[in-house]
Structure 1
Amino acid sequence: MSTPRTRTRTRKSPQQRSGEIRDAALAIAREDGLSALTLRSVAARAGVASGLVAHYAGSMDELVVHTFRELVASELDEVRVEVALEDDPAARLARMITTVLGSDHDDITLVWVDAWSLGRGSAALAVAIEEQMAAWQAFIAGIILDGRADGSFRTDDAQAVAWQILAMIDGISAHALTRGTDAAPFAVRLAQACETLVGAQPGSIAGLAG
């Protein structure tokens, strides 16, 4: 007579469990936005009880902030890598525009749109939003300053122009997401506007964004 096999349960470390919960939150946010993050949804995705999510995440506010920071910071890192493939400032600006308006960035656009809304009721999220927007502005300003240094751009206020370009990118992306359309066709128009803002030769940026 055979005896039934006893399954050995492996107890996961706090680091493993915490990592699973954070990974579950990242996956949900990519698919459905930050607003979809709840104790129940994260628990279901991670395959644990809601109480464990509360235990390891601290609070949903903390988990939302962490998820936002990780996703949007990762996007900026990816864009930096893409832009670094170009030597010329005009080409780098064009590469940045076409990259961020690509459909494969729609998930992060949704994260941003949700963050702007949820940040009104979360001081911690509002701080994270400001940090990440400032990082994007500094990145764009750096490209503009490089263009000024080599004479291809002529603007006296790279910082303000960078904010304006960032606002246009965010606006186009958010509108396309809301309307269910593609933001990519607007890359050339945005590039043309950027040429005026940075004081570049007509076609020097737009000609590379088509």
Structure 2
Amino acid sequence: MGRVRLSVPERREELLNAAVEQIEQRGASAVRIADVAAALGVSSALVLYHFSSKEQLVAAAFTHAADADLAHLRRILGRRTSALRRLRTAVRWYAPTGQAKGWRLWIEAWSVSLRDPALRDLSRGLDQQWKSALTEVIAEGAAAGEFRCDDPAAAAWRLTAFLDGLAVQMTSYAGTLSRAAMLQWTDDALARELGLDREALTATAR
């Protein structure tokens, strides 16, 4: 039986998903158009029809993965519940123990961004969207009196910096820290930013 004929948007999504997987496995520098094509059993010419170069494919793959995570983040933050509960759910999802897209992919993006100005601009823009979304819900909760935070933007920066750093450590040195410890540290960091003790955070945000 031949391959099912896909629409252009469906084919692009299939190619981007395969590219994300190949980048996670091989690294952005080593991955080739041929690797993505082979993973799907299609020709390299088909990949190049949709993405004119490896650089364009890699940038689109990073954007595709980030957009999926951002859409999920916004669904979490858009729930009809307290800002504190939404914030804790989002932070724990973003943490290395959560279900956000593989951290190996983002470490690759940061590494490549050091040498690729176009990808650096793309990565910076995506990162700012994360920070802006968290800033908004922190400001909402502070205004509602759920917790104290004089500078929501700074709190969002510190939280994401902490979680990014923890993710790099846990991706590079897997198994050195338990899931329970990471989640406790995540709650501790969030509680500090919101002027709460961890017991109050966990009790209120359940």
Q: TM-score range by the shorter chain?
A: 0.7 to 0.9
**Percent sequence identity over aligned pairs:** 25
Unpaired segments ≥5 residues, structure 2: none
Corresponding position of 1:96: 90
Distance in 2 (alpha carbons) for counterparts of 1:81 and 1:69 = 18
**2:66 is matched with which residue?**
72
User: Of the two, which has the highest radius of gyration?
Assistant: 1
| Aligned-pair CA distance for 1:116 | 0.2
CA offsets, 1:55-75, max 9 Å, x none? 431111111111101101211
Alignment root-mean-square deviation, CA: 3.1
Amino acid at match of 1:192: D
The Cα shift of 1:34 comes to 3.8
Cα 1:42–1:199 shift into 2, 3 Å:
same
Residues 95 and 186 in structure 2, CA contact (< 8 A), matched pair in contact too: no
For 2:164 and 2:83, how far apart are their aligned partners in 1?
A: 21
Deviations along 1:145-174, one digit per CA (max 9) or x if unpaired, are 011111122222111111111111111122
Structure 1 range deviating more: 94-103 or 32-41: 32-41
Return the match for 1:54 from 35, 48, 57. Answer: 48
1:191 and 1:209 in contact (8 A); partners too: no
Which amino acid counterpart does residue 155 of structure 1 have in structure 2? C
Please report how far the alpha carbon of residue 26 of structure 1 lies from its aligned counterpart in structure 2 after TM superposition. Answer: 3.2
- Measured in 2, the distance between the counterparts of 1:148 and 1:10 equals 52
Q: Distance in 1 between matches of 2:70 and 2:87?
A: 14
Offset at residue 95 of structure 1 (A): 0.9
C-alpha deviation, 1:107, in angstroms: 4.6
Distance in 1 between residues matched to 2:61 and 2:30, nearest whole Å: 12
Question: How many residues of Structure 1 are paired with residues of Structure 2 in the alignment?
Answer: 204
Q: In the alignment, what sits opposite 1:204?
A: 200
1: distance between equivalents of 2:68 and 2:184?
Answer: 25
TM-score by length of 2: 0.82
* Partners of 2:77 and 2:87 within 8 A in 1: yes
5+ long unaligned stretches in structure 1:
1-6
Read off the aligned partner of 1:169 and give its amino acid letter: L
**1:134 offset after TM fit, Å?**
0.3
**What residue is the counterpart of 2:136 in the other structure?**
142
Return the letter of the residue paired with 1:57.
Answer: F
Maintained 8 Å contact 2:93/2:100: no
Query: Which string of whole-angstrom CA distances, capped at 9 and with x for unpartnered residues, describes residues 178-198 of structure 1?
Result: 111367421222222222222
Q: Measured at CA, do residues 39 and 192 of structure 1 come closer, stay the same or move farther in structure 2, by a change above 3 Å?
A: same
Q: CA deviation at 1:142?
A: 1.1
| 2:190 counterpart residue number | 194
Partner of 2:150: 156
In the alignment, the residues of structure 1 paired with residue 94 and residue 135 of structure 2 have an alpha-carbon distance, to the nearest angstrom, of: 16
Alignment-derived partner of residue 115 in structure 1: 109
